[in-house]
Amino acid sequence: MDAIENIMSRRSVRRFTDRKISDDDLNTILCAGMSGPSCVNARDWSFVVVRDKDMLLKMAEANGRPAEPLKGADVGVLLCGDLDRAFPRAKDYWVIDGSIAAQNMILAANALGIGSVWLGTWPQTDRVKAQAELFSLPDSAVPHSLIAFGYPSEEELSAPPKNDKFEEDRVHYEKW
């Protein structure tokens, strides 16, 4: 798919078919996640990739009602920040670096015809704690976001195309 069209056409997909994502496509998605910039090239993230249905249910339940789409997803990814790798003088760049990785994964999936929805975890501390407990994470790994991946259902495919408006009043030229 054309790169600009891919960026503009991405939308959140919450209903999936049973079709499996191939290992090759999953690797491409993960590779995209590792291809973004990060502060001082710290690459301060990790990925937990889950296909087990019981675990996907538990991840959804630990993340509140908006995480329901995980229950029907083929793959769920828990993206974590890695505080051991984060820029020592300003560790909170891990939040930005994790976001870049997640958006790259979502865009790569869209290019492959795979739908996804980003399910917020950080900064909601109850969710961060629940995911850390569920996966028995070490202290250095901080839950950042969950992403549900799968092939879009018929309803999703027949939904009207996304029509984001260009919000002119959000752009300032030369000065605020």
The interface with a copy of itself within residues 13-32 (CB under 8 A) comprises 27-28, 30-32
28 or 153, CB closer to a copy of itself?
28
What single-letter amino acid sits at 134? L
| Alpha-carbon distance values, 117 to 67, 107, 166 (Å) | 9, 11, 22
- If one asks whether residue 90 binds a copy of itself (CB under 8 A), the answer comes out as yes
Give the Cα separation of 71 and 74 in Å (integer).
Answer: 9
- Contact indicator for 14, 65 with CB cutoff of 8 Å: no
67 or 106, CB closer to a copy of itself?
106
56 or 151, CB closer to a copy of itself?
56
Give the Cα separation of 12 and 19 in Å (integer).
Answer: 18
Which tokens hold the place of 87? 């820029």
Of residues 35-54, those binding a copy of itself (CB under 8 A): 35-37, 39, 43, 45-52
What single-letter amino acid sits at 24? D
- If one asks whether residue 83 binds a copy of itself (CB under 8 A), the answer comes out as no
Least CB distance to a copy of itself at residue 155 (A): 19
Q: Residue 125, Cα to own-chain centre: how many angstroms?
A: 18
- If one asks whether residue 99 binds a copy of itself (CB under 8 A), the answer comes out as yes
Least CB distance to a copy of itself at residue 67 (A): 13
